[in-house]
Amino acid sequence: MAILYLETSIFSFYYDNRPDPEIVARRNWTRRFWDNCIGRHSMMTGAAVLTELSKGGKTHKQDALDLALSLPAVDINEDIKEIVAVYVRHFVMPRDPLGDALHLALASYNKCDFLVTWNCRHLANASKTSHIKRINARLDLHTPALVTPLEILGEK
């Protein structure tokens, strides 16, 4: 049973109701991912996800938040804050304190097998993988595979 950390975009796309074909496809893939993985894998999220979802102005905000609340949420501690600072200092992730660096720190610190995201700019980005692995090795941290729901489903 793999341990999956789900970041904010997963919950948001699950309920996104915009008619754009790319959004519809991601919503459908996200729902297939959820149906396929719930009960088959250990899924968790982070307190940062709950904060991000509660601040949004989208019409599906409460539904997305409720879905996230159905999973265990790992908290932010001093170690996590230090890891985030190292990621930012070494340009692994952008400076946003509640953003990508925090999700990566939570997934790494909690030894998740996968960090599942639709954020392909900063997280599920193959060009960043070796840099992330190098910094995590210096910190003696596990590096989760940074993947989209499609990769978990075995699709391209």
What are 12-65's pLDDT values in tens digits? 999 999 999 999 999 999 999 999 999 999 999 999 899 989 987 788 899 999
What are 113-156's pLDDT values in tens digits? 999 999 766 565 666 787 889 999 999 999 999 999 988 998 65
Which pLDDT score is estimated for 131?
A: 81
Cα 121 from Cα 134, distance rounded (Å): 19
31 CB-near residues (< 8 Å, 6+ apart): 14
What architecture is domain 3-153? 3-Layer(aba) Sandwich (3.40)
| C-alpha of 58 from chain center | 19
Instruction: Find the helix or strand (DSSP H, E) in which 3 lies.
Output: strand 3-6
Find tokens 């919950």 and name the residue. 11
Domain boundaries, the chain: 3-153
Which pLDDT score is estimated for 126?
A: 65
